Amino acid sequence: MEEKYTWMEFYQELADKVLSFKDDRASFVNLVRKSYEDAGIEYKFFWDGHYFTDMDPFTFYGSFNKGISERKRIALCTQYKEKFGVQAEVPADFDGIPIMNNMQSWFMDDTPGEQMDTYWDILETAISYAKGDRSLRVHLEELFDKAITYKGTAWNITMALYWIRPRSFVNLDGTNRSKLKAAGLFDGKFPTGSQYLQLCDKLLSMLNTEAFPYSTLPEFSHQCWRDGQDSKVDNVKSEKGNALADNGVITTRYWIYAPGDNATYWDEFYDSGIMAIGWDGIGDLSDYKSKDEMKAAMKEKIDPSRPFKMAAHATWQFANLMKPGDVVFVKKGRGLIIGRGVVESDYEFVADRPYFKNIRKVKWTHKGQWQHPDGQAAMKTLTNVTAYTDYVEKLKSLFEDEAEDDGEDSVDIELMPYDVDMFLDEVFMDRVSYDTLVALVKKKKNVILQGAPGVGKTFVAKRLAYSMMGVKDPSRVMMVQFHQSYSYEDFIMGFRPTQEGGFELKHGAFYEFCKSAEMDGDDTPYFFIIDEINRGNLSKIFGELFMLIESDKRGIELKLLYADEKFSVPKNVYIIGMMNTADRSLAMMDYALRRRFAFFEMRPGFETEGFRHYQNSLESEKFNRLITCVKELNVVISNDESLGEGFSIGHSFFCDLSNTLDQTLSGIVEYELIPLIKEYWFDEQTKARTWIDNLRSAIK
């Protein structure tokens, strides 16, 4: 399979060329910058307004082995071939290459020094070592151990070594680590330089064996990635998070936590800057692949008669779901809140602690006593309360008057970048349509994505917002769905019953969102997304905001219905609605509201470059025949006087499919397309039967 990995020779030769600039790094930086300019890609190597005058080789490699489009990647490699005099061909594929998080792709800081020199020494030593100079082994181990002490390097150094010599060094990204650990070839813990080279030797000696049936390390890396993708495919159409563009989104979770019975260990944990849970008897929690495995271990090692359902749930969440940036509220008993903090680290198992060996580092921001809101807290040691938004707001309000920092910004959370190229890589839309849509959003501020079933309206909405923001920042995006019972009270504000039997004024989703946007200033865009916008009684829901949402009325204040308060819609709030044009049950939108929105027609993307590339990648004649049939069907639907283009069948019915297509295609035809055809032509049975037969025949 090695002939498939066309990038290997290019990456290796490029590393040799880069090494020749070890003592002339100013020229190296100039060539890199020139390559970006000639490729038409923004050059972003600057700090505090100043461009870098020095650069390490691994930051250079990381810049085109991160979350950028393949088009940009090829454009940069084409320039590097010319500028550095590389003889190898520009890669035709990038299979088996680990991709770095965009926000963590720099190995260096902004100033020359020891760190920069270490990376250049690693480049030189690793290349010579890979070429056969084994006398350098100890020196390479020492350099490896030195590099991993630098902030943010860790596992990334193994990716760097793999980029420059993929036949000699294994990359230990998360996917590969999981595979090696499952096979018993790696313990999962971060290695020293000596342990890393021993692992490389071990894997190289096992190539083409039954235990390690790969011809090269890149083939192994590629297979690990494919296995990971295949495990996602079966459920991808039912995973709402994927459809809503939530992959890679950094969100804050909120937790209630008890530091031992009756908060026994609170003072110790506060002073040590940690939180910890027990269950030391089952060892390192990261060794378990599921809650069921944890539960089985608890039964085996602690007490076979107990179910351990809640305990396994808590340990699994502590080790796998909690993450840096999450907020922890500390409880004592069920009636007191005694502290608050922000998680700073991933899960750690500290074997030399005498007890509570499962820990996370926490920046504790508050310590004291506050009465727990809403009666009693949950009994469990650890409870994820994120979904209970009212409850979370009450917990947060306990600390609003404190002089200390609010805490949410006390941990630097790096948001995943998202730009137009990433949008176009995921969405079957051409660049002209994207630019038109963005211009509409900016000008009108209120846009409705309308279209037939399956054209990807929901799929596009958040991705459009993130692409305009430049990052996946969920704090600036809110999505709601309108329905017949949705009201002004849900949207703006209204009186709601309390547990005590009275009523209190509650703010609605849009009101709260506008207040958050207002604090951030006009230059920071916020996006309010409304699914099924034409299913609600829009005049009733929007009320006096009828006028305030107009683009030229932003900032103008009106008195609200339920409060002695003047309210305005900020200029930086954009509203994106979604409307299914094939839903016969819906009335036309109120004209007064309709004229306040721009309407963008989303059409099936079968003819886009992105869909054609996706279709070709499946290499399926059945799929090709089915798509041809659907395109022909869409022509008939568009020309039908009782239907029209708004009833066309969209491309999203056919997205995210695996290479095992027969059963999947049959399911799409039988349970998604045929019911739609029967509804469209309920009064033309012959026409419906003809196209049902055509669809079934296409996949035979």
> What pLDDT, on the 0 to 100 scale, is given for residue 239?
33
Our CA angle for 595, 601, 606, nearest 5°, is: 175
- What is the pLDDT at residue 472? 86
Residue where one domain finishes, among candidates 602, 631, 650: 602
637 compared with 582, residue with greater pLDDT: 637
Name which of 150-159, 438-447, 675-684 the model is least confident about: 150-159
pLDDT for position 363: 92
My answer on whether 449 and 511 are in the same domain is yes
Distances (CA, A) of 556 to 33, 440, 525: 46, 22, 18
317 inside domain? yes
Examine residue 241 and state whether it is found in any structural domain, yes or no: no
Taking only the tens place, the pLDDT of each residue in 8-58 is 999 999 999 999 999 999 999 999 999 999 988 878 776 656 778 888 999
CB-based burial of residue 491 (10 Å sphere; 0-12 exposed, 13-18 middle, 19+ buried)?
buried
Residue 124 has pLDDT above 90, yes or no: yes
How much is the average pLDDT of 485-506? 83
- How do residues 212-265 score in pLDDT, each as one tens digit? 888 999 999 888 876 654 443 333 333 333 566 666 666 788 999 999 888 999
Q: Are residues 598 and 634 in the same domain?
A: no
Give yes or no: residues 219 and 261 share one domain.
Answer: no
The pLDDT score that the predictor gives to residue 324 is: 85
How many CB atoms neighbour CB 238 within 10 A? Answer: 8
Whole-number pLDDT of residue 401: 52
- 302 and 335 in a single domain? The answer is yes
Mean pLDDT computed over 359-370 = 92
**pLDDT at residue 623 greater than cutoff 70:** yes
Q: Where are the beta strands (DSSP E) in 301-355?
A: 327-332, 336-343, 348-349
**Residue 533 placed within a domain:** yes
Lowest-pLDDT range, 205-209, 227-231, 493-497, 636-640? 227-231
Query: Which residues lie closer than 8 Å to 442 by C-beta, 6 or more apart?
Result: none
Mean pLDDT of 654-678: 82
C-alpha angle 7-11-12 in degrees, rounded to nearest 5: 120
In a shared domain, residues 211 and 351: no
For the whole model, what pTM was predicted?
0.57
408 part of a folded domain:
no
Q: What is the CATH number of the domain that holds 547?
A: 3.40.50.300
Among the candidates 397, 431, 463, a domain finishes at: 397
Overall number of domains in the chain: 4
394-413: average pLDDT: 58
Give CA torsion, residues 467, 473, 476, 482, to 10 deg.
Answer: 80
Domain contains 414: no
Region 535-543: mean pLDDT is: 85
Mean pLDDT of 600-616: 86
Both 391 and 452 in a single domain? Answer: no
pLDDT at 675 over 70: yes
Asked if residue 421 has pLDDT above 60, the reply is: yes
Predicted confidence at residue 633, as pLDDT, reads 95
Which CATH number does the domain housing residue 382 bear?
3.10.590
Indicate if 69 and 140 belong to the same structural domain.
Answer: yes
Asked whether residue 404 is assigned to any structural domain, the reply reads no
Among 607, 610, 625, 613, residue whose Cα is nearest residue 661: 625
pLDDT 10s digits, 301-315: 999 998 888 889 899
- Please tell me whether residues 572 and 651 are part of one structural domain: no
Q: Residue 110 has what pLDDT?
A: 46
As a whole-number percent, the residues of the chain with pLDDT over 70 amount to 87
Question: Do 510 and 591 lie in a common domain?
Answer: yes
Give pLDDT, residue 244.
65
639 and 525 both lie in a single domain? no
- Token pair for 19: 């090494």
Q: What is the pLDDT of residue 403?
A: 38
Last residue of a domain, one of 174, 197, 230: 230
Question: Is the pLDDT assigned to residue 411 strictly greater than 50?
Answer: no
**What is residue 459's predicted lDDT score, i.e. its pLDDT?**
86
| Model confidence at 156: pLDDT above 90 | no
- What count of other Cβ atoms lies within 10 Å of the Cβ of residue 502? 8
Mean pLDDT lowest among 145-149, 382-386, 501-505: 501-505
- Residue 361 has what pLDDT? 93
Give the burial class of 519: count Cβ atoms within 10 A of its Cβ; 0-12 exposed, 13-18 middle, 19 or more buried. Answer: exposed
Residue of higher predicted confidence among 251 and 461: 461
Greater confidence (124 vs 550) lies with 124
d(CA 545, CA 567): 9
Q: Mean pLDDT across the chain, nearest whole number?
A: 85
pLDDT at 387 over 60: yes
The pLDDT of residue 405: 42
Q: Do residues 429 and 521 share a domain?
A: yes
- Kindly state whether residue 249 falls inside one of the protein's structural domains: no
Examine the domain organization and report whether 597 and 641 are in the same domain.
no
Tokens of 27: 């020229």
Domain with 656 in it: 609-698
The answer to whether residue 322 is domain-embedded is yes
Residues 44-95 pLDDT 10s: 776 656 778 888 999 899 888 876 777 788 999 999 999 999 999 999 888 8
